[in-house]
């Protein structure tokens, strides 16, 4: 049976690939086989990779919300868009969870010109110049030209700021993205001492690791959250599932959500963030 990928390309359904994606999300072995087999039995002509993802997510939600959230995390991060500034806000919230002092959309003077920095993060006498690069098209990678541009900006900003700032801090460029990096972009960053954080890179403390360790899940990870509900929370600056935790069901409903959606979101947030 052929399936249609999000890129528009068609390929044969692979039981092994689906199983591998479930295992990477931490799904226990017995559930991997149950879910993969159930989806394979339900394949129909015209099915898409999104259909398969949603079907797998429904199966997992019934068994264990934590596992379901882990499986859906990448799509949840990608669903923060389509505007990149929402990803910038999310990156700032994530960094704050790790104790960074942050400012967003900061203008910093360089030796030659001034620069707008997506997020300026400060910690341990280091100022991190954050480039938050968001892509909402599947399969896109961050290429070397993006990394080289970030390096050029750092080379203009750092000498000026380290000479003129009262704090006398080091300045490090840090590129954070929801995509993967090409091999050459990684090679260049390692040579030029730039920090890269993306999907599955580096091997430890990559984007998904940082999210999971602090449970700094985007609100879009909640299975019951509708598109309209997502818009409501984003407009209120509530980008993390943690931001909903202090609210009662009635207060969540007061944001304009239905009784059922508010009840489900309340339950999912408390189950997901339980101590």
What residues are paired with 104 via a beta bridge? 119
pLDDT in tens, 30-41: 889 999 999 999
Phi, psi of 215 (to 5 degrees): 50, 40
For residue 42, what pLDDT is reported? 87
Q: Residue 166: what pLDDT?
A: 84
Domains, the chain, with CATH or none: 2-63 (no CATH), 84-214 (3.40.1350.10), 219-272 (1.10.150)
Contact yes or no for 87/111 (Cβ under 8 A): no
* pLDDT at residue 59 in the model: 87
Is there a contact between 207 and 77 (Cβ–Cβ < 8 Å)?
A: yes
Q: pLDDT at position 49, please?
A: 84
Q: Are 179 and 136 in contact (CB under 8 A)?
A: no
Which residues make beta-bridge pairs with 180? 141
DSSP secondary structure code for residue 54 in this structure: H
Alpha helices in the chain (DSSP H): 15-24, 29-41, 49-63, 65-78, 84-97, 144-164, 183-192, 207-214, 227-235, 249-253, 259-272
**Each residue's pLDDT tens digit in the chain (275 positions)?**
788 776 678 888 889 999 998 888 888 888 899 999 999 998 888 888 888 988 898 888 888 888 888 888 988 998 887 666 899 999 999 999 999 999 999 999 999 999 999 999 999 999 999 999 998 776 789 999 999 999 999 999 999 999 998 888 999 999 999 999 999 999 999 999 999 999 989 999 999 999 999 999 999 999 889 888 988 998 888 999 999 999 999 999 999 999 999 999 999 999 999 75
* Burial class of residue 155 (count of CB atoms within 10 Å of its CB; 0-12, 13-18, 19+): middle
Q: What is the pTM of this model?
A: 0.86
State the Cα–Cα distance between residues 189 and 195, nearest whole angstrom: 7
Count other C-beta atoms under 10 Å from residue 33's C-beta.
14
pLDDT of residue 27: 87
Residue-wise pLDDT for 243-274, tens only, equals 999 999 999 999 999 999 999 999 999 999 97
pLDDT score at 219? 93
């Amino acid at each position: 049976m052929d399936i249609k990928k999000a890129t528009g390309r068609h390929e044969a359904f692979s039981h092994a690939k689906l199983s591998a994606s479930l295992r990477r999300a931490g799904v226990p072995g017995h559930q991997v086989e149950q879910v993969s087999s159930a989806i394979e039995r339900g394949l129909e002509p015209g099915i898409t990779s999104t259909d398969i993802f949603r079907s797998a997510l429904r199966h997992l939600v019934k068994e264990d919300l934590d596992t379901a959230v882990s499986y859906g995390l990448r799509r949840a991060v990608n669903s923060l868009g389509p505007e990149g500034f929402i990803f910038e806000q999310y990156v700032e919230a994530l960094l704050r969870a790790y104790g960074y002092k942050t400012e967003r959309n900061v203008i910093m003077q360089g030796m030659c010109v001034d620069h707008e920095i997506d997020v300026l993060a400060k910690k341990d006498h280091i100022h991190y110049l954050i480039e938050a690069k968001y892509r909402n098209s599947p399969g896109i990678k961050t290429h070397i030209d993006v990394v080289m541009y970030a390096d050029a900006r750092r080379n203009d900003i750092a000498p000026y700021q380290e000479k003129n700032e009262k704090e006398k801090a080091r300045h490090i460029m840090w590129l954070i993205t929801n995509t993967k990096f090409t091999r050459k972009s990684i090679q260049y960053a390692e040579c030029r001492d730039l920090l890269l954080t993306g999907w599955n890179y580096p091997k430890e403390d990559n984007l998904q690791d940082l999210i999971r360790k602090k449970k700094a899940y985007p609100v879009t990870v909640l299975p019951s959250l509708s598109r309209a509900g997502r818009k409501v929370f984003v407009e209120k600056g509530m980008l993390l599932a943690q931001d909903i935790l202090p609210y009662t069901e009635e207060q969540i409903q007061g944001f304009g959500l239905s009784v059922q959606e508010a009840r489900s979101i309340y339950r999912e947030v408390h189950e997901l963030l339980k101590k």
